[in-house]
A and B are shown apart, each in its own frame.
Chain A
């Protein structure tokens, strides 16, 4: 069965350091992969999308890599700040056959940036 694993439930990091979050998947061939941020009591917010034929994407302090051989995506936040503290969700998109790509989410990693 399809499985998505995010490396840990929680990650603590010192302010200013680079946070690296991992998303591994099995039995899946996603067309693309997305990362979302979710704050407590709120809906997820889209951050980045990377396609199966792309190796790396960047947006400001964020970087995502996608290795379809390893079946893994890495999400990096450089120069982390306490405001980056949130849960980060990995989502894989597979074509559903109904004209759309269905997202399957991982459980998320709760990042805490310590001042």
Chain B
């Protein structure tokens, strides 16, 4: 079990550029989540996939944000026309389908730290 991986770990970009992040969940996990975390705050939910279907999106996810999970495996999060307010840590998490009392915890990756200059 290699855990959840995210790439890149750090990204510096200029305002107005597009960026794309990748998340590879734990292989047997059906569910995948994206969060954003700024300094001194807890993670904020952005979006959720079950297999390849994007089932929920937060109001935080403006039209400039798009996420995909083709074939229900890895996921990408793209931010178009980045703004300085997009600077944050972007976290990906995965979880299995709950079964009985098990499967409710989320396993987080190390995050991608985005800096928009």
Contact = CB atoms under 8 A, between A and B. Distances in A.
A101 B43 CA distance: 15
B110 A98 contact: no
Among B33, B50, B106, B113, chain A packs the most CB atoms within 10 A around the CB of B106
Contact of B56 (A36, A41, A102, A104): A102
Interface residues of A, number: 27
Q: At the interface, is chain B mostly helix, strand, loop or mixed?
A: strand
A101 B105 CA distance: 10
Contact of A93 (B104, B108, B109, B110): B104
21 contacts: A4-B42, A9-B40, A34-B104, A41-B110, A41-B111, A42-B110, A43-B93, A43-B110, A44-B43, A46-B107, A49-B105, A98-B48, A98-B55, A98-B56, A99-B55, A100-B56, A102-B45, A103-B33, A105-B43, A106-B42, A108-B42
The 10 closest A-B pairs by CB, nearest first: A105-B42, A43-B108, A46-B105, A98-B55, A98-B56, A44-B108, A105-B43, A89-B42, A107-B42, A106-B42
